[in-house]
Structure 1
Amino acid sequence: MSPRKQPSCLLKLCIKSSLNLINECCYIIEKNNSDLECRECERQVVALKGYLMSLLPARLFDVLCLERGCCRYRGDPRIQLNVLIHPKMSIFRKSDVDNGIAQNFWARVIPCFSRLVVLDLKFICTDEILEIIGSQCLLLEELNIVSRVDICKSLINASVLIRNVSDAGLCCIANLNNLRILSMDPPRNERARRVGRCVSQAGIIMLISKLPYLEELHIESCDIGSTLIGTDISIGPLSLRKINYLFASAEGMRKLVKICPHLKELCITHLSAHNKDSILEEIALSDLRLHKLDMSFYSHSDSLHRLLQVKGSYITHFSLWEIDHSLSLDSVINLGMCCPNLTSLCLMTQSKYLLIPRFFRHPGNIFCKLEILTLGDENFSIEDILVFFLDCTKCMRKLTLKFETKLVIDNTLRYILQKGYLKNLNILWLDCTLEVSKQVVKEVIQGCEMLQNFTVNFTEDMSDVYKYIADNNLDFNLGSY
């Protein structure tokens, strides 16, 4: 049976009770003062804050701010933040309720964050705030500056989203030399520059080149690889460890390896039918020691096999969205033999050749460390391929199955349950096309000792299953579509 809910640890109970008391005091202060910026209100906030600082260690203020969501404050969040923000804080991540706070509040507060190592101001940031961060928060190692978004109503067009971070703001934080992780807005095209502020590719390149220890750059829907190799400015070598390169080419890959020689995670996409092998050969010839390799619109070719032979011992996470419908059992076995340290595998294919012969015995010592498995196809036998992988490993923690057509898999789930293959599984996600009866859902809950998350398409009323979970106090999340 799935694990039962355990009582909260003493620290969590203390944090929750402390936040409840602090929130009550803040709400009393707020009710007694109609103007939150009046001297009497400020005096009471300072008094409460001083009292807390005399009782609690400085590091606990980090935790209280991070856990604000567990005890929702019913008043103005500025009062709560003024009380909880400590001059020695090292971590601050904003809450969703902070999005509506005016910019002048952050302009007053951020100078108190001089010792911060982590700062998340997602959907709050503006150029003016970045100017303060660049002068006051010099110890930052992780920063989220995804900008505040305003809505401009137009008489001609539909409403336009306006961002509030531009290249000018990026220039202000180019001196944060300790920065390792940065999240920010994507660059805008020339046409979009006419509406509000925006960052450009040139601004991003400028910022990256000025941050010597930057390892991770998170920009939603941005082809970072193409941005780096497309600049006329001489940059590199950079410290970046993660890159997504969506419109890959062999020449571009050669440049990218020189610019980012320390890459550990690479996501490549190649929509063209040509030159795929030359891209893989460039990676194989490089000095990169990739831990994670995600490939979309590729096939398991001889070039990929040679790449895995050279680099496979370093790879722990591998993903292949195969397009040539040629993936075979031999390809999968070669993958397992070339990548002995693989812990995460995703195979998406339409191949008709991924067949497990009857009485087949897989080679020993392949996929033995596999913890996360994602499979997608409509042509293979789910039971055969699952047994193949689950028979290789006793470490499986997360299993995801995707299928193109409707399929009832009750018997498959029953079989792998009886074999004990799912005893260590924590997460099971089944595509909406995979039909499972209510009885088998119960059997999965009862037969998986470690399972805590199960997503499946409901075809029957599951109210009694939810009642069973509640009555048995199971730490279990059952979800559907």
Structure 2
Amino acid sequence: MSPRKQPCSLFKLCIKSCVNLVNSACYVIEKSCPENMFDECERQAFELKCHLMSMLPVRLFDVLCSERTCCQYRGDPRVQLHVLTHPNMTVFRKCDLDNGIPQPFWIETLCNFSRLVVLDLKFICTDEILQVIGVSCPLLEEINIVSRVDICKYLFNASVLIRNVSDAGLCSIANLKHLRVLAMDPPRNERANRVGRCVSQAGIIMLVSELPYLEELRIESCDIGSTLIGTVMNIGPLSLRKINSHFASADGIRKLIKICPFLKELSVTHLSEHNKDAILNQISLSDLRLNRLDLSFFSYTDSMQQLLAIKGNYLTHFSLWEIDHSLTLDAVLSIGQFCPNLSSLCLMTQSKCLVIPRYFKRPEKIFSELKSLTIGNENFDIDHILTFFLDCTQNLEKLVLKYQTITNLDATLLHLLEKGSFRNVNYLWLDCTLEVSKEVVKQVIQTCEKLQMFTVDFTEEMTDVHKYINENNLDLKLGSY
């Protein structure tokens, strides 16, 4: 049976109680001071802050501030923030309630946080705020500067999203030399440059070149690899550990490896029919010791097998979106033999050649460390393939099955439950094409002792199953499509 919900720890109860008391006091202060008595409101809030500072350790302010949404505050969030922030706090992450707070508050507040190590300003950041951060927060190691977005409406019934972070803001934080993780907006094209502020590829290149310890650059929907490869500037070596590169070429990958010689995680997407083996050969010839390699729209060729033979011993995560029907059982066995330390594997294939012979005897000690498995899409016998992988490992915690053909999975699940193959699984996601009866859903819940996330397409009324989960106080999220 899925694990039962555990009561909150005494520490969490104390934090919630403390936040609730602070919220009540802030609300009393706010309502007792009309708008024309803002100075008095600020004075009383400051007195409350000083009272808390005299009783609580500094690090507790980090926790209280991060947990302030555990109890809803009915008033102006600036009053609550004024009380729960501390000059020596090291972590500040905004919440959704903060999005409406005007810019002057942030400029006045952030200039006092000289000891910050982590700062999240997603959707509230502007160039003006970054100017203050660049001067006042020299110890920052992680920052999210995704811009505040304004909506500008035009007379012809159209609207444009206007961002508030530009290359000028990036220049302001270029002296934060301790930065290791940076999340920001993607660069905009020339047409978008005419509307509001935005960052450019040149601005991103400038910034990463100035940050000697930057390991991770998080830019949503951005081909970071192409951005680095495409620059005419002489940059590198950079400390970046994670890179994604779409529409890659062999020359581009060679240049990227030269710019980022310390890569640990590489994602490559290649849609052309040509030059794929040359890309794989460049990775094989490099000095990279990758922990994670994601390859999309590749074929399992001799070059890929050679790459895994050379680099596979370092890999803990491997993902292959395979085309050309090149994935065979021999290829899967090679992945297992060349990558003995894999804890996460994703294989997406349309191959008709992936077949488990009837009297096949699998080699020992392949995929034995596997904790996360994602397989799909069709043309293989899902019962045989799933049984093969679950016979290899006793440690599987996460299983994701994707399939394009409507298939009943009852017999497969019952067989694997009987063998105890799901004993450690806590996350199970089944595609909507996989039919599972209500009785089998119940058996999965009753048999899997660690299952906490279960997604399956409901073809029957499941009210009694949800009732069973609630009545037995199970710590399980059961979802459908």
TM-score, scaled to structure 1 = 0.99
- Mapped to 1, the partners of 2:228 and 2:353 lie a distance apart of 39
Partner of 2:80: 80
Cα deviation code 1:77-114 (max 9, x no counterpart)? 11110000011100000001111111111011101211
Partner of 1:90: 90
- Mapped to 2, the partners of 1:278 and 1:11 lie a distance apart of 55
Amino acid at match of 1:430: L
Relative to structure 1, the CA distance from residue 301 to residue 157 in structure 2 (aligned partners, 3 Å threshold; closer, same or farther) is farther
Cα deviation code 1:288-311 (max 9, x no counterpart)? 000000000001110000000000
The Cα of 1:465 is off from its aligned counterpart by: 0.7
- Mapped to 1, the partners of 2:413 and 2:470 lie a distance apart of 23
What is the root-mean-square deviation in Å for CA atoms of aligned residues? Answer: 0.9
- 1:206 matched to 2:206? The reply is yes
- Report 1:431-470 matches (<5 A): 431-470=431-470
The Cα of 1:36 is off from its aligned counterpart by: 8.0
Partner of 1:140: 140
Relative to structure 1, the CA distance from residue 145 to residue 344 in structure 2 (aligned partners, 3 Å threshold; closer, same or farther) is same
Partner of 2:412: 412
Is the 1:30–1:36 Cα contact (8 Å) retained in structure 2?
no
Amino acid at match of 1:113: F
Cα deviation code 1:382-419 (max 9, x no counterpart)? 11111100000111000000011211111111111010
The Cα of 1:138 is off from its aligned counterpart by: 0.4
Q: What SS does the aligned partner of 1:38 have?
A: helix
- Mapped to 1, the partners of 2:416 and 2:37 lie a distance apart of 64
Partner of 1:6: 6
Amino acid at match of 1:179: L
Relative to structure 1, the CA distance from residue 246 to residue 37 in structure 2 (aligned partners, 3 Å threshold; closer, same or farther) is farther
The Cα of 1:140 is off from its aligned counterpart by: 0.1
Partner of 1:343: 343
The Cα of 1:470 is off from its aligned counterpart by: 0.5
- Mapped to 2, the partners of 1:440 and 1:112 lie a distance apart of 58
The Cα of 1:37 is off from its aligned counterpart by: 6.6
- Mapped to 2, the partners of 1:281 and 1:234 lie a distance apart of 24
- Mapped to 2, the partners of 1:41 and 1:377 lie a distance apart of 61
Cα deviation code 1:229-252 (max 9, x no counterpart)? 110110000000000001210001
- 1:57 matched to 2:41? The reply is no
- Mapped to 1, the partners of 2:189 and 2:350 lie a distance apart of 36
- Report 1:9-408 matches (<5 A): 9-35=9-35, 38-156=38-156, 158-408=158-408
- Mapped to 2, the partners of 1:120 and 1:391 lie a distance apart of 43
- Mapped to 2, the partners of 1:350 and 1:371 lie a distance apart of 24
Amino acid at match of 1:281: N
- Mapped to 1, the partners of 2:461 and 2:115 lie a distance apart of 53
Amino acid at match of 2:30: E
Q: What SS does the aligned partner of 1:415 have?
A: helix
- Mapped to 1, the partners of 2:469 and 2:385 lie a distance apart of 31
Is the 1:424–1:448 Cα contact (8 Å) retained in structure 2?
yes
The Cα of 1:33 is off from its aligned counterpart by: 1.6
The Cα of 1:75 is off from its aligned counterpart by: 1.4
- Mapped to 2, the partners of 1:76 and 1:37 lie a distance apart of 15
Q: What SS does the aligned partner of 1:321 have?
A: strand
Could you tell me which runs of 5 or more consecutive residues in structure 2 were left unpaired when the two chains were aligned.
Answer: none
- Mapped to 2, the partners of 1:275 and 1:100 lie a distance apart of 50
Could you tell me which runs of 5 or more consecutive residues in structure 1 were left unpaired when the two chains were aligned.
Answer: none
Relative to structure 1, the CA distance from residue 355 to residue 37 in structure 2 (aligned partners, 3 Å threshold; closer, same or farther) is farther
Cα deviation code 1:405-444 (max 9, x no counterpart)? 2111111111110100001001000111111111111100
The Cα of 1:66 is off from its aligned counterpart by: 1.0
391-400 or 352-361, which deviates more: 352-361
209-218 or 61-70, which deviates more: 61-70
Amino acid at match of 1:234: N
Q: What SS does the aligned partner of 1:153 have?
A: strand
- Mapped to 1, the partners of 2:332 and 2:349 lie a distance apart of 12
The Cα of 1:156 is off from its aligned counterpart by: 3.5
- Mapped to 2, the partners of 1:328 and 1:37 lie a distance apart of 75
- Mapped to 2, the partners of 1:102 and 1:432 lie a distance apart of 44
- Mapped to 2, the partners of 1:316 and 1:301 lie a distance apart of 21
The Cα of 1:208 is off from its aligned counterpart by: 0.4
The Cα of 1:29 is off from its aligned counterpart by: 1.0
The Cα of 1:359 is off from its aligned counterpart by: 2.1
Is the 1:36–1:42 Cα contact (8 Å) retained in structure 2?
no
150-159 or 103-112, which deviates more: 150-159
Is the 1:237–1:261 Cα contact (8 Å) retained in structure 2?
yes
- Mapped to 2, the partners of 1:158 and 1:334 lie a distance apart of 55
The Cα of 1:155 is off from its aligned counterpart by: 2.1
The Cα of 1:43 is off from its aligned counterpart by: 1.2
Partner of 2:429: 429
Cα deviation code 1:282-330 (max 9, x no counterpart)? 0000000000000000011100000000000000000000111221100
Q: What SS does the aligned partner of 1:376 have?
A: strand
- Mapped to 1, the partners of 2:157 and 2:126 lie a distance apart of 25
The Cα of 1:23 is off from its aligned counterpart by: 0.8
- Mapped to 1, the partners of 2:36 and 2:131 lie a distance apart of 26
- How many residues are aligned here? 481
The Cα of 1:7 is off from its aligned counterpart by: 1.1
Q: What SS does the aligned partner of 1:140 have?
A: coil
Relative to structure 1, the CA distance from residue 36 to residue 168 in structure 2 (aligned partners, 3 Å threshold; closer, same or farther) is farther
- Mapped to 2, the partners of 1:329 and 1:21 lie a distance apart of 62
The Cα of 1:154 is off from its aligned counterpart by: 1.5
- Mapped to 2, the partners of 1:203 and 1:329 lie a distance apart of 47
Q: What SS does the aligned partner of 1:318 have?
A: strand
Is the 1:329–1:355 Cα contact (8 Å) retained in structure 2?
yes
- Mapped to 1, the partners of 2:93 and 2:212 lie a distance apart of 24
132-141 or 460-469, which deviates more: 460-469
TM-score, scaled to structure 2 = 0.99
